[in-house]
Amino acid sequence: MIEILAERFNFIIVIILMMTGLYAVVATGNLVKRLVGLSLFQTSVFFLYITIGKVFGGQPPILPEYSEGHGGGDTYGGDVVAASDYATDAAASSVSHADAGHYAAEAIYSNPLPHVLILTAIVVGVATLSVGLALVVRIRETYGTIEDEAINQADYAIDSARRNT
Amino acid sequence: MTEFDWTQLLDYALMAMLLAVGIAIVRLRNLFAAVMLMGVYSLISAAWFVSLDAVDVAFTEAAVGAGISTVLMLAAMLLTAREAEPVKAIRHWAALIVVSVAGAALFYAVGDMPVYGDPNSPANSYVGMDYITSTPNEIAIPNVVTAVLASYRGFDTFGETVVIFAAGLGVMLLLGLNPGKKKGDEE
Amino acid sequence: MSPHLVLRVVSKLLIPLIVIFGLYVHFHGDYSPGGGFQAGVIVAAAVILYALIFGVDSAKQAVPTWFVKFLAAFGVLLYGGTGVATLVLGANFLDYDVLHPDLAHHSGQHIGIILVELGVLSTVFAVMMAIFYAFAGRAPDIPEGEW
């Protein structure tokens, strides 16, 4: 049991962070603090995805075809191939593609798919956070407060005033 | 894991810092401090992303989380309130019960997750690794993440661009880009 | 001597470098970590830095509101336009190989990826600027001692 949890230690940290964010959303009355908690929750979900994609002994998913110095010593050969490829020789370029496929088969890379998903999720997350904050600003201008209990009471007061007249 | 991997120490240190900052954010009532700690949280999570081999994601998280998001939340905090009111006891305990139940359910499910770093887990076995082997032949650019983002999954990126545009539209509709002129005679 | 003299001088040196770095990140997204999303955010951070130090009105003269609105829509249209262009040239939507006849080097893929990332850069930059203008336009001017 302990062994099972020790091998999946990252997921436990993710769960604790997720619950911290959830607590902030449920317990706090302040709307800005709730959005902060939601952003905390969102970041912990990003950790969950990236942790699943990690491979032990792997490298970041960038192939050594045209760049210098990624990975071990054998990629210096890739540098020479890239230099000759810039002479736009079709034969040399096909060699470099085969070499790159060879390098890709030799080295171990982490899974690139979760990275792609989370990349867009981060930017979309900040865009939707800004919409939420714009709503909070408008609420503040209308009600004069951003505590949810005070807003509810203001709404009840308006409703009962409308019902009594 | 027969021999101790010293890079795991870095992971543990980053995780400990994340936990400490996360709990501090929730417990602080001063919103200015909470927003600043969110910026710190984003930077530490960018460092942890690098440790998890996700360099593109770390780049984006550092730029977006520590840069734009902090400025945004500071601006919103200036326009709304500086302090949060204290949490009532009954609400605090109710929230703790909800969070404990949800957390316990998730803990129970951790046993089914793949082992951390397993190269043969279902997530790492099929499409993800195929992208790495077929990118040199079909797209011929070294950065596999950009190849997947812009070419293999171009539809999804198009949808996300439209979502970002829609969010910008939403903010423009809610707040307006030139509110100074209209502040006197708002309807 | 105006206050924040160090900030003004250093930011005037740094802001062009930040913009160049953003463009570098965009064009090298094929070869190193980077791409449209990161580049858009970095260039927006440069303009926001300018607005924070020299005032939102000066920033609105440098990057006016109509340009921000235009650029947001232009980015989405550029992305969709690349897809429609590939449709017109005979292949599927967003199939970049038809954009350039050189199939050995996959130049069509390079062109297609740079174009769509440019669209993403434009939209992300413009939306970040629009959000900043929307929030900063309403913020009251806070005198120095009251922070």
What is the Cα–Cα distance from A119 to A74, expressed in whole angstroms? Answer: 30
Look up residue B126 and give its two tokens: 């099929």
Q: Would you call A2 exposed, middle or buried from its count of C-beta atoms within 10 A (0-12, 13-18, 19+)?
A: exposed
- Which whole number is the average pLDDT over A56-70? 68
pLDDT in tens, C58-77: 999 999 999 999 999 999 99
**Least CB–CB distance from C130: residue in B78, B171, B179:** B171
Domains in chain A, please, with CATH?
1-54+111-165 (1.10.287.3510), 62-110 (no CATH)
Looking at residue B112, what is its pLDDT?
83
Note whether A53 contacts B123, CB cutoff 8 Å. yes
Among C71, C69, C93, C73, smallest CA distance to C82 is for: C93
- Note whether B142 contacts C: Cβ–Cβ < 8 A: yes
- B3: chain A residues, CB-CB within 8 Å: none
Which amino acid, C135? F
Domain B12-86 falls in which CATH fold? Four Helix Bundle (Hemerythrin (Met), subunit A) (1.20.120)
Burial pattern A57-95, b for ≥16 Cβ within 10 A else e, equals ebbbbbbbbbbeebbeeebeebeebbeebeeeeeebbee
- Note whether B141 contacts C: Cβ–Cβ < 8 A: yes
**Least CB–CB distance from C130: residue in B71, B168, B183:** B168
**Least CB–CB distance from A134: residue in C33, C37, C134:** C134
- Stretches where chain C sits below pLDDT 50 are none
pLDDT in tens, B1-19: 455 677 788 888 999 999 9
Which amino acid, A153? Q
Evaluate whether C41 touches A76 at the Cβ level (below 8 Å): no
**Least CB–CB distance from C32: residue in B71, B143, B147:** B143
Q: Residue A124 pLDDT more than 50?
A: yes
Q: Residue A4 pLDDT more than 80?
A: no
DSSP-based helix, strand, coil % in chain B, nearest 5 = 75, 0, 25
**Residue B140 three-state SS:** coil
Evaluated on CA atoms B93, B98, B103, B105, the torsion sign reads: positive
- Give the confidence band of A83 by pLDDT, cuts at 50, 70, 90: very low
Cα first-last separation, chain B: 66
Mean pLDDT of chain B: 86
- Nearest-CA distance A133 → chain C (Å): 9
- C41: chain A residues, CB-CB within 8 Å: 123
- Which whole number is the average pLDDT over B143-165? 91
- Which whole number is the average pLDDT over B111-116? 82
Evaluate whether B156 touches A120 at the Cβ level (below 8 Å): yes
Looking at residue B4, what is its pLDDT?
65
Kindly report the backbone phi and psi dihedral angles of residue C106, in degrees, each rounded to the nearest multiple of 5, phi listed first: 55, 50
Evaluate whether A145 touches C145 at the Cβ level (below 8 Å): no
Looking at residue C141, what is its pLDDT?
64
- Note whether A62 contacts C: Cβ–Cβ < 8 A: yes
Note whether C45 contacts B175, CB cutoff 8 Å. no
Note whether B75 contacts C132, CB cutoff 8 Å. yes
Looking at residue B3, what is its pLDDT?
57
Classify A57 in phi/psi space as left (phi over 0), alpha (psi -120 to 50) or beta: left
CATH 1.20.120.1200 segments of chain B:
12-86
- Give the confidence band of B95 by pLDDT, cuts at 50, 70, 90: very high
ipTM: 0.90
Sequence ranges of the domains in chain C: 5-139
What is the Cα–Cα distance from B52 to B48, expressed in whole angstroms? Answer: 6
Look up residue B157 and give its two tokens: 């990126």
DSSP B1: -
Identify the chains in contact with B, defined as 3+ C-beta pairs within 8 A: A, C
- Nearest-CA distance B115 → chain A (Å): 6
pLDDT in tens, A17-47: 999 999 999 999 899 999 999 999 999 999 9
